Chains A and B, each alone.
Chain A
Amino acid sequence: MDFLRPAGWEEALAAKAEHPTAVPIAGGTDIMVEINFDHRRPEYLLDLNRITELSEWEVGEESVRLGASVPYTRIMENLRTELPGLALASHTVASPQIRNRGGVGGNLGTASPAGDAHPALLAAGAEVEVESVRGTRLIPIDEFYTGVKRNALAPDELIRAVHIRKADGPQQYSKVGTRNAMVIAVCAFGIALHPETRTVRTGIGSAAPTPVRAEAAEEFLNAALAEGGFWDSGKIITPSIAKQFAELASGACNPIDDVRGTARYRRHAVGIMARRTLGWTWEQYRGSGRTLEGAA
C-alpha cells in the first residue's frame, strides 16, 4: 500500500490520473473501517485532507457549491437556511465525532444506498462537480448513482464539490434506525418543496439498490397540488392526497430483507415518513415567513 499526500488539487488530479486504482481518503469514515477490518487493501490511498478548498463552500445566487470534504458538522451549523434538508440529514449521520470528519463527498464516492446525504441531495436537486486532468464535468444527481455502491465517476475522476440548489421552500428529512443515535439507516426519506417551480422533489435512502426519487409520488403530488390550487391557497393538504403520496412513495421502494430490517418494513416506513414529512413541510409553507429550518 502506498500513501499519496498531494499538497493541492492539481497534484491530487495528477496522482489519480497516474494511479486510477488509488482510493481517495478524506474523513476516512468509510475506508478506514474497511482497512481496520481487513475488508480492503487498496494499492494506493490518496489523502485529500491537505486540499483546503475541498473543505470550503460558496453560497451563490442559485446554489451552494459545497466542497466535497466540508464536514457534516459545518453543514449543520452554517447551512441550515440554504440547505435545510441536507442540514437535517447531516444531523442524523453517525456520531458527533464522525460528523466532524465525514463529508458529502464520501457519501457520494461510496454511493452506498444507506448514505444519509443522498435523499436530501435528490430532493433539493444537485449536481456533482467531478474533475480529472481531462477536465471538469457536472453530473446531475439523478444520474449519479448507477448501482449498488456504484457511481458515475470515471476511474481518473475525483469529486470536487456538490452544487446544491438553495432551498426556495421548506425541506425535511427523516431516517429510521433501530437506535436513537449513531445508527445506519434502515431507510430514509427526504422531501423538498419548491414553491418557485411549484414542484415537490423527494429522495429515498436504503430502500432500493441505489438512492432513488419517488417519481410517481412527486408527479401525483405536483398534479394534485396544482389542481387543487394548494400552492396559492395554502390550504391543508387533504388526507387522501397525503395518503396516496405516501403509498406511491412506498411503491418507489425496491428493498431487500437484511439484518437491519425487512423489505416489508422498509416499504411501510418510507410511506409513513413520506406522509409525515409532507405534513411538516406543508405546515411550514402555509405559514408565511416561517423559518425554512428543520425542527432539529
Chain B
Amino acid sequence: MRVNFTVNGRRQEADDVWEGESLLYVLRERLGLPGSKNACEQGECGSCTVRLDGVPVCSCLVAAGQVEGREVVTVEGLADFAKQRAEHSGHGGACATGACGGTSLQDARSWTAKGTDSQTGEGTELSPIQQAFIDAGAVQCGFCTPGLLVAADELLEHNASPTDADIREALSGNLCRCTGYEKILDAVRLAAARQGEAV
C-alpha cells in the first residue's frame, strides 16, 4: 500500500508498504530517517519515540497505514521543531517567581562540564534539550537518546520547570542501560534552567 504523511514538516510518500509495517520501519528503512531507534519493538523502551500530531508515541506500535495524512516529528527534525516553537509561540514558559519547584540555573550548572569541545557537526543548530544532553554527559552509547530527547522536549514544552519527580515520571517510558539516568536528569534540569533564563 501507499502511505502519505508529513515528516519533520515535509510531505513524504512511501510505496509498497507491507500492511504489517510499523511507522518506525517506514521511517528507518523507507524514508532514510534511522534516528528513531529499534530497541524493543514492543513499546517497552521508548527508543522509537516520535511526535504524532504533537503527541509522543512509540512509533514501533503505530501501523504505517495509520499515519496517512498525519504529522510526525522525529529526532532528526527536533531542532527545527523547537526553533519554530520558540519563534511562533514565544514558548519558554519560565516561572516568573522562580518558585515553581524546578532547579535553578545556578544549581543546574554547579556540576557543568568544563571545556566545550564537541566540534562534530559544528554549525549544526541544536535544540536546547539536545545541547543539554551533550553538556551534561547524558549520552553514552546514545541508543536511547533520540527517544529520550523527543520525550524530554515534550515535557519541557508543557512544563517549563519540572520537579525531579515530574522528570522521572515523564521519562519513565524510556529505558537507558548506560547512564543510570543521573546525567539524563541533569540534562533536563539544565535545559529547563537555560530555557527559563532565556525568557
Using a CB–CB cutoff of 8 Å, the interface residues on chain B facing chain A are 1, 18-20, 22, 41-44, 46, 49, 55-58, 60-63, 65-66, 68, 151, 169-170, 172-174
- Tally the A-B contacts, defined by beta carbons under 8 Å: 90
CA distance in complex: A95, B172 (Å): 6
Which of B1, B46, B66 lies in contact with A25, CB distance below 8 A?
B66
Q: Is the pair A101, B20 in contact by a Cβ cutoff of 8 Å?
A: no
CA distance in complex: A33, B60 (Å): 8
Residue of B whose beta carbon sits closest to that of A31: B63
Contact with B along A5-29 (1 / 0, CB 8 A): 1000000000000000000010111
- For residue A96, CB closer than 8 A to chain B, the reply is yes
Kindly list the 8 A-B residue pairs having the minimum CB-CB distance in the complex, ordered from nearest.
Answer: A95-B173, A181-B172, A1-B19, A3-B19, A3-B65, A32-B61, A36-B41, A33-B42
CA distance in complex: A10, B174 (Å): 38
Which of A2, A5, A41, A101 lies in contact with B62, CB distance below 8 A?
A101
In the assembled complex, which residues on chain B have CB atoms less than 8 Å from the CB atom of A41?
Answer: 20
CA distance in complex: A146, B178 (Å): 44
Asked whether A1 and B20 contact (CB < 8 A) given A95-B173, A97-B151, A98-B58, the answer is yes
CA distance in complex: A1, B19 (Å): 6
Q: Is the pair A97, B58 in contact by a Cβ cutoff of 8 Å?
A: yes
Residue of B whose beta carbon sits closest to that of A30: B61
B83 → chain A closest CB, angstroms: 24
Q: Is the pair A45, B61 in contact by a Cβ cutoff of 8 Å?
A: no
Q: A35-B20, A181-B169 are in contact. List 20 more A-B contacts (CB 8 A).
A: A1-B18, A1-B20, A25-B63, A28-B61, A29-B61, A32-B22, A33-B41, A33-B42, A33-B61, A37-B41, A47-B65, A47-B66, A95-B172, A95-B173, A96-B172, A97-B56, A98-B58, A100-B56, A181-B172, A182-B173
Q: Is the pair A28, B62 in contact by a Cβ cutoff of 8 Å?
A: yes
Q: Is the pair A5, B65 in contact by a Cβ cutoff of 8 Å?
A: yes
Residue of B whose beta carbon sits closest to that of A184: B44
Q: Is the pair A97, B65 in contact by a Cβ cutoff of 8 Å?
A: no
17 CB < 8 A contacts A-B: A2-B19, A5-B68, A28-B63, A29-B58, A32-B22, A33-B42, A36-B42, A36-B60, A47-B63, A94-B173, A95-B173, A96-B56, A97-B43, A97-B56, A98-B58, A101-B62, A182-B44
In the assembled complex, which residues on chain A have CB atoms less than 8 Å from the CB atom of B43?
Answer: 29, 32-33, 94-95, 97-98
Q: Is the pair B19, A45 in contact by a Cβ cutoff of 8 Å?
A: yes
- For residue A49, CB closer than 8 A to chain B, the reply is yes
